[in-house]
A = this chain, B = another copy of it.
Amino acid sequence: MGATKSALFTREQNELAAMAKAIAHPARIAILQYLVRKNACVCGDLVDELGLAQATTSQHLKELKLAGIIQGSIEGVNVCYCINPEVWNRYRDFFSGFFKKVDLKDGKCC
């Protein structure tokens, strides 16, 4: 064991969990915040910004890119990263839809 039993859950549940996992690390939060602030940056900027090794930073970028929430393009020797607006909005809508559902007219349950 040790592997998530994805087959037990709906597509929506798996997708929302995957989205959460993509941002479930402070370095990846920091990368996204930096990108929002600066609009775009190269990998080296993030190495300085985060204080993590270059290999580690690159790995986090890879995960964010795999999740679709950022995109990278080669810019000569550099690689320039930025937010993918469509996917970003999709994340926003998914999370907001998930948390909006609840009706808390009363705080009691048991």
Residues of A within 8 A of B (CB): 4-6, 8-10, 13-14, 16-17, 20-21, 23-30, 32-33, 36, 39-40, 50-52, 71-73, 75, 80-86, 88-89, 91-92, 95-96, 98-102, 104, 107-110
Q: 10 A–B contact pairs at CB < 8 A?
A: A8-B51, A9-B27, A9-B29, A13-B33, A17-B23, A40-B109, A88-B99, A88-B104, A92-B100, A95-B96
- Beta-carbon nearest neighbor of A27 in chain B: B9
Complex-state Cα separation, A100 to B86, whole angstroms: 13
Q: How many copies does the complex hold?
A: 2
List the B side residues contacting A13 at CB < 8 Å.
26, 29-30, 33
- Of A13, A39, A72, chain B has the most CB atoms within 10 Å of the CB of A13
| Contact, CB under 8 Å: A110 / B40 | yes
